[in-house]
A and B are shown apart, each in its own frame.
Chain A
Amino acid sequence: MRLILQLLANGLVNGALYAMLAVGFGLVWRSLRVFHVAFGGLFVASAYCFHTLVMRVGLHPAPAFLGTLIFAGFTGWLCEIGLYRPFARKGAASSAVLIASLGAFVAMENFIALAFGNKLQTVSRGLARAIHIGPVILTEIQLLQLVVGFGTIGLLWVLVCHLRTFKALWAMGDQPELIPVLGLPVHKLRALVLVLSTVMAAVPASLICLDIGTDPHVGMSYLLISAVAVLVGGANSYAGWVVGGVALAVMQSLAVWKFSSRWMDLVTFGLLVTMLVFRRNGLVDPQRRVEEPA
């Protein structure tokens, strides 16, 4: 029983990280209808920015974290104006945007490998202090990941529910053609989506780098986790993305109980296929009219 509780706790910690990734990926998917493959590259770039600020510049992790968020916001904005906006202006097909996004991801991954090498880069911080919470033991960093993860998601949730700007981001995914017709600033809104999305990737990227380090090739793995969490939870629901991320992490964690951690990908994609076959619109699917597109 104690083992199950420990695995559930580990799953929740990872769930907080996965949920942030899912929110970051889902925002772009829902608002711009772009399968944002470059998200994986932006995740790795953020992790390396954090590592550089801590290990090379010598900053304390807290200011390095803030610096990484600013860097992430800037790279997200750059991604919009340099990559996606030209395609949007030309009305390019989604497949062309997908290929371009994949190209950007590969370019970022290779550039980082060239600049920093292929080895795992860790942040040296000595032994992590363990904290006992009833029968469960979490490290200091795990606790930080849990609190920052769910705190960030909660904060963004409040903003999404109450600010008109965030309603506009959501609306953009419904009817992109209607946004400019109503006089809404379509380019600013698009840029905001990419900035927010990349910041949402930078938070877990920094926390994961602080915990287990990073290497240039982890981007694809976290990209797939984000995409699966969004599809499992429901592409049209913020709550769905969070539920998808947490469910995926908990299932991966419980899989370790019975199998080896090498089989985590089986859990990830098994869950995806099961959902696509039996519940195509995800776990959280708002009520809709029959003729309304999913």
Chain B
Amino acid sequence: MEPILSAQGIVAGYRERKVLHKVSLDMLPGESVLLIGPNGCGKTTLLKVLAGVLRPEQGRVLLKGTDISRVFDDRRALLGFGYLMQTQSIFPSLTVDENLHLSFWHRNGNFKDQREYILSAFPMLKPMLARRAGVLSGGERQALAIGMVLMRDVDVLLLDEPTAGLSPKAAATILQAVHDVKVKMALSTVIVEHNLRLVHEWVSRVLVMNQGRIVAEERDPSVLLDHERLQEYYFG
């Protein structure tokens, strides 16, 4: 099967500071890839490169076999990428409804139908539609942010710590909703997440990063519950 998304020999960073060193990965359609690793190892940077927010210095990003390395992030979003940034992922001064409406910008079809679909996935947003997004709680904000990403036609979903700062209950609710949507829409996902116990049921492959490189690949997600093995990957 042809990979839906490939990264080949990615070298990227911020000005003089190189963060990724020849990183390569292939993702098959419908796969859920979890990226783990210690803080600062390059997980977020890799997602930024895949989403087109950061241009790689070397290497290529291929979507369904087409090189999209030179495609800017706003055009890349139209190719089927949905990217949830670690922070700053909603517009606080607009209402929840306006946030969703803005995210529907390029999509054909009925906004209300799509909004209903998102509200069925994230029911906590339903009574909040007229509220300003800035006054939502952390869990509601994250639900809105993911909902906004899913308002468009998405094939590949890139999620950067979707449960950061949430209570265990809110985190479980969000991850369950993401998983349900992923299955229903047959999405391929790359997720960076530290709640390993919560997320391990829903991933098909685990990539371990350290110091800007992918240092291990595990096809059995139960490795996420093996602390000694993880410590070895992180510090060994």
Q: Which residues of A contact B (CB under 8 A)?
A: 164, 167-168, 170-171, 173-175, 177-186, 236, 286-289, 292
Q: Mark B118-160, 1 if CB is under 8 A from A, else 0.
A: 0000000000000010110000000000001100100000000
Q: How large is the interface on B (under 10, 10 to 19, 20 to 34, 35 or more residues)?
A: 20 to 34
Jot down 24 A-B pairs with beta carbons below 8 A, ordered by A. A164-B105, A167-B94, A168-B102, A170-B94, A171-B99, A175-B90, A175-B91, A177-B88, A178-B90, A178-B91, A179-B74, A180-B53, A181-B51, A181-B53, A181-B73, A181-B77, A181-B83, A182-B77, A182-B105, A182-B149, A186-B74, A287-B132, A288-B92, A292-B92
B93, A236: Cβ atoms under 8 Å? yes
Q: How far is the CB of B133 from chain A (nearest CB, A)?
A: 9
B74, A171: Cβ atoms under 8 Å? no
A175, B88: Cβ atoms under 8 Å? yes
In the assembled complex, the Cα of A168 lies from the Cα of B98 at a distance in Å of 9
B93, A180: Cβ atoms under 8 Å? no
Closest residue of B by beta carbon distance from A184: B105
Residues of B within 8 A of A170 (CB): 91, 93-94
Q: How far is the CB of A91 from chain B (nearest CB, A)?
A: 10
B135, A288: Cβ atoms under 8 Å? yes
B94, A171: Cβ atoms under 8 Å? yes
Q: Which residues of B contact A (CB under 8 A)?
A: 51, 53, 72-75, 77-78, 83, 85, 88-94, 98-99, 101-103, 105-106, 132, 134-135, 148-149, 152
Contact partner, B74, options A185, A286, A292, Cβ 8 Å:
A185
Residues of A within 8 A of B92 (CB): 174-175, 288, 292
B101, A183: Cβ atoms under 8 Å? no
Q: How far is the CB of A145 from chain B (nearest CB, A)?
A: 31
A182, B102: Cβ atoms under 8 Å? yes
Residues of A within 8 A of B51 (CB): 181
Residues of B within 8 A of A183 (CB): 74-75, 77-78, 105-106, 152
A164, B102: Cβ atoms under 8 Å? yes
A184, B74: Cβ atoms under 8 Å? yes
Given A167-B102, A183-B152, A288-B134 in contact, is the A174-B94 Cβ separation under 8 Å?
yes
Q: How far is the CB of A3 from chain B (nearest CB, A)?
A: 42
Given A167-B94, A171-B91, A287-B135 in contact, is the A180-B101 Cβ separation under 8 Å?
no
B74, A180: Cβ atoms under 8 Å? yes
Question: Beyond A164-B102, A182-B149, A292-B92: 8 further Cβ-contacts under 8 Å?
Answer: A174-B94, A175-B90, A178-B85, A179-B74, A181-B73, A182-B102, A183-B75, A289-B134
In the assembled complex, the Cα of A179 lies from the Cα of B134 at a distance in Å of 17
Closest residue of B by beta carbon distance from A174: B91
Contact partner, B101, options A164, A173, A186, A292, Cβ 8 Å:
A164
In the assembled complex, the Cα of A178 lies from the Cα of B85 at a distance in Å of 8
In the assembled complex, the Cα of A175 lies from the Cα of B51 at a distance in Å of 17
B72, A180: Cβ atoms under 8 Å? yes
Contact partner, A180, options B73, B94, B132, B149, Cβ 8 Å:
B73
Residues of A within 8 A of B103 (CB): 182
A178, B93: Cβ atoms under 8 Å? no
Given A177-B53, A180-B72, A180-B74 in contact, is the A286-B93 Cβ separation under 8 Å?
yes
Given A174-B94, A175-B90, A181-B85 in contact, is the A167-B101 Cβ separation under 8 Å?
yes
Q: How far is the CB of A236 from chain B (nearest CB, A)?
A: 7
Closest residue of B by beta carbon distance from A236: B93
Residues of B within 8 A of A292 (CB): 92, 134
In the assembled complex, the Cα of A175 lies from the Cα of B53 at a distance in Å of 14
